């Protein structure tokens, strides 16, 4: 049968999509096909709280009860409550020994109204139509009955029904009439929107044959247009510049376009013989991709990832995949991949890494240069590379270099009169102060302090940005070593250094955030375990509430207690999620007064869940008398998780597995935190290297976690180190200074 399938979903998913006013026929050829459609249809209705009516003929009521019990339905409960009713065909279709379509439709309307009056949202019906084969009077009106249902029952009443027809037993002419009178057809374990359906006014008219021919001709035209549209779409996909492929879990490439062929350098006939998981994916990339596909099955939503493909010539091409889960005609999973060549991006990342290294070197060089400039006392010649002016004790300019004059012209003095020899530099500054320039005011005070001897030197960094660019300078004032005294004033352009510092800071912040996300990825199982208990509690209480509500006189006090339990479980789950979200947020570094016991306690549920999954004993020994420290809560969370996770990894092959987190205080001025494991410890000769970037003892480690932890503790003015334990394992400790004003 040619028909248009609803997106080709699985039958179970399609049955869940049925709704009141739908009229369906089931055409089956095996008992399994019958059972796979009818029993889930009933189960879904009962679970949704609908009233269900089953009319038996070829099966018995006991058989239907048995099938439903195997699906987990409490049959006795739904029978006693009146939600599920079974009638014999002689009580419905052939009451009084004959079949009357109008009488049967009236019965269904009456049952629907009765269900609504009893508080059910709809009536769900399915009937075995084999009674037609017994030859009862009126059976010849079957097709008339099916057509009238579409005008008198389903459009007006919230009723959904499946009419069951065994194709092996019914004449093809009857099956044809059944198909023509049902908007929806189930056949071959699929659900179809029936393009051969004919409205009831046409079926029941005198021109039925003429209307049927017209309908068939219109169907042929629609099929032609549909085929042309599919061909057009296939051509568009094939000509798209975006490489695409459709692959199966067993490695077959079911569909790919020209751009995919061009990307890998194969001919179509060659690629059709290859497997994506054996011939196109490098071995080291395959485990990660298979894990992502498992995640795709769990989540159901598209996933982005990176990998490499092997080209025909043996070279590799880095790509980014957007993977979507789809299905074939039988509901088996397929993976649709939209592919982007990221060779240029990878090259840009390499260039960015080189540029970062260059920036770090430039920052180092400029810092050293600035230190040399700032250490000058009387040597004007050494300062001439920057904007330099020499003034006497009164502020009169006695020498100035070309760079300073150029600087003056850029800042509104075309004739450079304000910086010419003989002009008074201090008076220029005073005029700027009078005009409201706060930078000039700070600079003037500093220069005057050097001139009067109250300072050995003065240095000030300030922003001198224009409309077109950002600029930063450092003003240095050094006393002039000569009898009549004076000062050497220089303006050093530190724009490159400032930009490099900002870029470096941004990169470090992004790296810290990536490590937080990577850490949380490692702890996914622990988070799932932590969330499972409250979610299970919510489900159990909600089901209990449903059972109470289904009774005639529900106990409201018990229901309130159940709802209170649901609220508490929801708060527990919400708390876990809020902690997870805070670790993912991209936040500005903010110091606040913190108690390290609180910081650790906030991470304990996640760490404990991870420990339980790995069969690790986890204990905390938190000193209740420690003082507060000044710190960033999120970054300290990251340190605790990094160190705890490293401890778990270190104990992977240990017989005894125990992780301890302790807090304490040293000399009243420092708070200590120690994470102790029972692993293999660390090589004494390599203890000094462990906090360096990219140093790792793990097979698959990146060597960034401890380096980031070291960086965070350093920013907090603390110190971090590692020591081997006397018996076995190692202890990583760090100290943080106590806040100046703290309250126990």
340-349, 580-589, 609-618, 619-628: segment of lowest average pLDDT: 580-589
Is the confidence at residue 606, as pLDDT, over 70?
yes
Is the confidence at residue 223, as pLDDT, over 80?
no
pLDDT at 586: 46
Q: Are residues 333 and 391 in the same domain?
A: no
pLDDT at 690: 78
Distances (CA, A) of 505 to 356, 494, 525, 636: 11, 16, 32, 18
Q: Read off the pLDDT of residues 427-471 as tens digits, 9 standing for 90 and up.
A: 888 888 888 888 878 888 888 888 888 888 888 887 776 656 777
Q: Is residue 742 part of a domain?
A: no
Q: Are residues 269 and 138 in the same domain?
A: no
Q: Are residues 476 and 519 in the same domain?
A: no
Q: Is residue 503 part of a domain?
A: no
Q: Please state the rounded mean pLDDT for residues 684-693.
A: 74
Identify whether the C-beta of residue 594 lies closer than 8 Å to the C-beta of residue 630: yes
pLDDT at 92: 95
**Pairwise pLDDT comparison (85 vs 421), residue with the higher score:** 85
pLDDT at 8: 40
Q: Is residue 170 part of a domain?
A: yes
**Pairwise pLDDT comparison (191 vs 503), residue with the higher score:** 191
Please state, in angstroms and rounded to a whole number, the distance separating the CA atoms of residues 482 and 581. Answer: 64
Is the confidence at residue 481, as pLDDT, over 60?
yes
**Pairwise pLDDT comparison (635 vs 70), residue with the higher score:** 70
Distances (CA, A) of 513 to 86, 485, 576, 594, 723: 61, 54, 19, 21, 28
Q: Please state the rounded mean pLDDT for residues 348-355.
A: 84
pLDDT at 627: 93
The neighbour count for residue 97, using CB atoms within 10 Å, is 9
Q: Is residue 356 part of a domain?
A: no
Please state, in angstroms and rounded to a whole number, the distance separating the CA atoms of residues 439 and 656. Answer: 64
Q: Please state the rounded mean pLDDT for residues 216-244.
A: 74
Q: Are residues 472 and 532 in the same domain?
A: no
Q: Are residues 634 and 515 in the same domain?
A: yes
**Residue that is written with structure tokens 């081997």 in the block:** 724
Q: Give the pair of three-digit tokens for residue 550.
A: 């289904």
Is residue 387 left, alpha or beta, with left meaning phi > 0 and alpha meaning psi from -120 to 50?
Answer: beta
Domain C-terminal end among 320, 341, 362: 341
pLDDT at 626: 93
DSSP secondary structure string, 322-383?
EEEEEE-TTS-EEEEEEEEE-HHHHHHHHHHHHHHHHHHHHHHHHHHHHHHHHT-SS-SGGG
Please state, in angstroms and rounded to a whole number, the distance separating the CA atoms of residues 51 and 114. Answer: 10
Please state, in angstroms and rounded to a whole number, the distance separating the CA atoms of residues 585 and 225. Answer: 50
Confidence of residue 1 (pLDDT cuts 50, 70, 90): very low
Is the confidence at residue 676, as pLDDT, over 90?
yes
Distances (CA, A) of 420 to 131, 388, 401, 425: 115, 12, 10, 9
pLDDT at 541: 65
Q: Are residues 159 and 285 in the same domain?
A: no
Domain C-terminal end among 493, 523, 558: 493
pLDDT at 672: 96
DSSP 8-class letter at 97: G
Q: Please state the rounded mean pLDDT for residues 544-573.
A: 72
Is the confidence at residue 417, as pLDDT, over 70?
no
Is the confidence at residue 30, as pLDDT, over 90?
yes
Q: Read off the pLDDT of residues 160-208 as tens digits, 9 standing for 90 and up.
A: 999 999 999 999 999 999 999 999 999 988 999 998 899 998 888 776 6
pLDDT at 425: 81
Q: Read off the pLDDT of residues 46-72 as tens digits, 9 standing for 90 and up.
A: 999 999 999 999 999 999 999 999 999
Domain C-terminal end among 145, 180, 204: 204
Q: Are residues 196 and 81 in the same domain?
A: yes
- Say which residues have a Cβ less than 8 Å from residue 150's Cβ, sequence separation at least 6: 23, 181, 183, 199, 200
Confidence of residue 706 (pLDDT cuts 50, 70, 90): confident
pLDDT at 380: 42
Q: Read off the pLDDT of residues 525-550 as tens digits, 9 standing for 90 and up.
A: 445 545 555 675 576 567 667 766 77
CA 582 to chain centre: 14
Please state, in angstroms and rounded to a whole number, the distance separating the CA atoms of residues 566 and 455. Answer: 69
62-76, 436-450, 511-525, 664-678: segment of lowest average pLDDT: 511-525
DSSP 8-class letter at 399: E
CATH value at residue 247: 3.30.450.20
Contacts 24+ apart (CB under 8 A), 236-243: 242/338, 242/339, 242/340, 243/319, 243/338, 243/339, 243/340, 243/341
Q: Are residues 299 and 259 in the same domain?
A: yes
Q: Is residue 213 part of a domain?
A: no
Q: Read off the pLDDT of residues 127-173 as tens digits, 9 standing for 90 and up.
A: 999 999 999 999 999 999 999 999 999 999 999 999 999 999 999 99
DSSP secondary structure string, 594-608?
E-HHHHHHHHHHHHH
pLDDT at 486: 83
Q: Into how many domains does the chain fold? A: 4
pLDDT at 524: 54
Rounded to 10°, the helix 633-650/495-522 angle is 50
Express the helix, strand and coil content of the chain in percent, nearest 5 each.
50, 20, 30
**Residue that is written with structure tokens 């209170």 in the block:** 564
**Pairwise pLDDT comparison (589 vs 728), residue with the higher score:** 728
Q: Write out the residue range of the structural domain in which residue 300 sits.
A: 240-341
Q: What 3-state DSSP class applies to 664?
A: strand
Distances (CA, A) of 282 to 19, 121, 511: 48, 56, 27
- What is the average pLDDT score of the chain? 82
pLDDT at 580: 54
Q: Are residues 598 and 711 in the same domain?
A: yes
DSSP secondary structure string, 705-743?
HHHHHHHHHHHTT-EEEEEE-SSSSEEEEEEEEBPSS--
Q: Are residues 532 and 587 in the same domain?
A: yes
Q: Is residue 363 part of a domain?
A: no
Q: Is residue 227 part of a domain?
A: no
Q: Are residues 625 and 543 in the same domain?
A: yes
Is residue 470 left, alpha or beta, with left meaning phi > 0 and alpha meaning psi from -120 to 50?
Answer: beta
Q: Give the pair of three-digit tokens for residue 527.
A: 């988070």
6-10, 477-481, 566-570, 591-595: segment of lowest average pLDDT: 6-10
pLDDT at 226: 67
Q: Give the pair of three-digit tokens for residue 17.
A: 């999509």
Q: Read off the pLDDT of residues 284-301 as tens digits, 9 standing for 90 and up.
A: 999 988 998 888 888 888
Q: Are residues 324 and 431 in the same domain?
A: no
- Say which residues have a Cβ less than 8 Å from residue 229's Cβ, sequence separation at least 6: none
Q: Read off the pLDDT of residues 297-313 as tens digits, 9 standing for 90 and up.
A: 888 889 898 989 999 99
């Amino acid at each position: 049968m040619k028909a248009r399938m609803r997106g080709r979903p699985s039958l179970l998913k399609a049955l869940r999509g049925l709704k009141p006013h739908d009229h369906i026929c089931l055409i089956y050829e095996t008992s399994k096909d019958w059972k796979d459609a009818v029993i889930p249809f009933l189960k879904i209705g009962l679970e949704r709280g609908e009233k269900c009516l089953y009319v038996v003929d070829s099966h018995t009521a006991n058989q239907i009860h048995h099938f439903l019990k195997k699906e987990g339905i409490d049959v006795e409960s739904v029978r006693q409550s009146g939600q599920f009713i079974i009638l014999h065909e002689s009580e419905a279709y052939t009451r009084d020994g004959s079949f009357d379509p109008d009488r049967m439709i009236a019965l269904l309307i009456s049952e629907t109204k009765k269900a609504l009056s009893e508080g059910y949202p709809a009536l769900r019906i399915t009937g075995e139509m084999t009674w037609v084969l017994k030859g009862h009077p009126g059976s010849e009106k079957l097709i008339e009955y099916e057509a009238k249902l579409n005008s008198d029952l389903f459009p007006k009443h919230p009723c959904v029904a499946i009419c069951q027809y065994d194709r092996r037993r019914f004449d093809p002419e009857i099956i044809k009439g059944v198909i023509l009178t049902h908007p929806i057809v189930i056949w071959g374990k699929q659900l179809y929107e029936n393009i051969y359906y004919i409205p009831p006014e046409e079926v029941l008219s005198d021109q039925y044959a003429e209307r049927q021919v017209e309908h068939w001709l219109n169907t042929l035209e629609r099929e032609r247009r549909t085929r042309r549209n599919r061909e057009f779409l296939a051509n568009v996909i094939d000509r798209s510049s975006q490489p695409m492929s459709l692959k199966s879990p067993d490695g077959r490439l079911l569909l790919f376009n020209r751009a995919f062929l061009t990307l890998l350098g194969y001919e179509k006939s060659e690629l059709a013989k290859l497997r994506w998981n054996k011939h196109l994916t490098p071995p080291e990339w395959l485990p990660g991709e298979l894990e992502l596909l498992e995640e795709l099955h769990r989540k159901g939503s598209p996933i982005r990832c990176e990998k490499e493909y092997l080209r025909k010539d043996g070279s590799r091409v880095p790509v980014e995949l957007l993977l979507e889960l789809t299905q074939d005609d039988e509901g088996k999973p397929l993976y649709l991949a939209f592919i982007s060549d990221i060779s240029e991006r990878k090259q840009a990342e390499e260039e960015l890494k080189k540029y970062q290294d260059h920036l770090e070197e430039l920052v180092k060089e400029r810092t050293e240069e600035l230190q040399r400039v700032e250490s000058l006392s009387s040597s004007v010649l050494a300062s001439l590379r920057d904007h330099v002016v020499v003034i006497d004790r009164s502020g009169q300019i006695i020498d100035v270099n070309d760079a300073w004059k150029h600087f003056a012209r850029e800042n509104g003095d075309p004739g450079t009169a304000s910086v010419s020899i003989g002009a008074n530099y201090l008076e220029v500054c005073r005029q700027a102060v009078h005009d409201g320039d706060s930078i000039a005011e700070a600079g003037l005070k500093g220069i005057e302090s050097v001139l009067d001897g109250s300072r050995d030197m003065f240095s000030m960094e300030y922003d001198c940005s224009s409309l077109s660019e950002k600029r930063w300078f450092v003003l240095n004032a050094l006393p002039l070593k000569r009898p009549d005294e004076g000062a050497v004033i220089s303006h050093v352009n530190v724009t490159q250094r400032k930009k490099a510092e900002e870029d470096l800071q941004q990169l470090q912040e992004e790296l810290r955030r990536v490590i937080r996300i990577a850490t949380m990825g490692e702890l996914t199982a622990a988070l799932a375990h932590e969330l499972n208990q409250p979610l299970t509690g919510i489900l159990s209480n909600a089901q209990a509430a449903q059972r109470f509500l289904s009774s005639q006189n529900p106990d409201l006090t018990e229901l309130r207690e159940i709802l209170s339990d649901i609220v508490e479980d929801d708060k527990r789950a919400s708390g876990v999620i809020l902690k997870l979200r805070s670790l993912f947020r991209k936040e500005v570094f903010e110091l606040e007064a913190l108690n390290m016991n609180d910081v650790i306690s906030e991470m304990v549920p996640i760490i404990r869940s991870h420990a339980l999954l790995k069969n690790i004993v986890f204990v905390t020994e938190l000193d209740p008398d420690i003082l507060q420290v000044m710190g960033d809560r999120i970054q300290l969370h990251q340190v605790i998780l990094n160190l705890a996770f490293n401890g778990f990894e270190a104990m992977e092959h240990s017989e005894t597995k125990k992780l301890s987190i302790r807090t304490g205080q040293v000399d009243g001025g420092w708070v200590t935190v120690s994470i102790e494991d029972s692993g293999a410890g660390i090589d004494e000769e390599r203890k000094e290297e462990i906090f360096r970037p990219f140093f790792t003892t793990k097979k698959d480690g990146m060597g960034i976690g401890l380096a980031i932890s070291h960086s965070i503790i350093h920013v907090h003015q603390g110190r971090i180190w590692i020591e081997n334990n006397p018996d076995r394992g190692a202890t990583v400790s760090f100290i943080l200074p106590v806040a100046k004003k703290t309250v126990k």
